[in-house]
Structures are given as structure tokens and as C-alpha cells.
Structure 1
Amino acid sequence: GQLKQMCNEKNIVQLMFQHCIIHQQALCATYVDINHALNPIVKMVNVKRSHGLNHRQFS
């Protein structure tokens, strides 16, 4: 309605809409495989947590 009328007045032919950020992240998560980046991080955190003196850093 009103948005289309404003676009016509300003001679905007094509208008791109941004979806909700959460929805964009959900769509991206279905296409991007981040296991190659996440696995070393998870391993490092697990090693740090396994040592008693460092355990409180991740609590």
C-alpha cells in the first residue's frame, strides 16, 4: 500500500526487503557448515576444562 506508493513517487523500481536478523541467521545456518571451525574450539575448551586449575575460567 503506502510503501509501494512512496516507491512509485520516488521512481524506485525494485525494492529489497531485509528479513528479521534471527530468520537470516536460521537460513544461513542451514547452508553454512561450520564444523571445521567449531571442532578445534570445542577440543581446546574441553582440554582447558579437564585441567582443574583452569576449570573456573569456563564456569
Structure 2
Amino acid sequence: VKGRARGDPIRTVRALSAAVNVQDDNGVLFGNWGKDLSDYSGGTHPLKWIGSLSILQKYYEKKKP
């Protein structure tokens, strides 16, 4: 997001969402919106996250989520 657009919360959030969303934009995270939202196999339950640093480091090293 450049210049004046940084003052627009909608454009800023959309840019951040695109950076994180792996399905459409080759981002960092997979969303889990299946029928059984308690199934986090292959991932981490949101309540067990203690920060994003390790997730971002793994992504940086592997270049994939």
C-alpha cells in the first residue's frame, strides 16, 4: 500500500489479507472454514498460538505455508 492509501483502513486490511491468504495470493496461512471447525489436523488450533514469529520464520525458510 503506497502513499495516501495507507490512511484508508479498507485498502490496508485488504493488502494485509492478500499477503496472508495462501489460497489466492501465495500467502502465509491456510484458512480453515470447513464444516468441522474443530479439525486442525495438519495445523495449529488458534488457541494454541503463542505468536506469529515461528510461523513467519518457517514460511520464510520454506517459501510455502
Structure-2-length-normalised TM-score: 0.24
Structure exhibiting the larger radius of gyration computed from Cα positions: 1
**Greater RCO, 1 or 2 (C-alpha within 8 Å, sep 6+):** 2
Structure-1-length-normalised TM-score: 0.26
Q: Which structure has more helix as a fraction of its residues?
A: 1
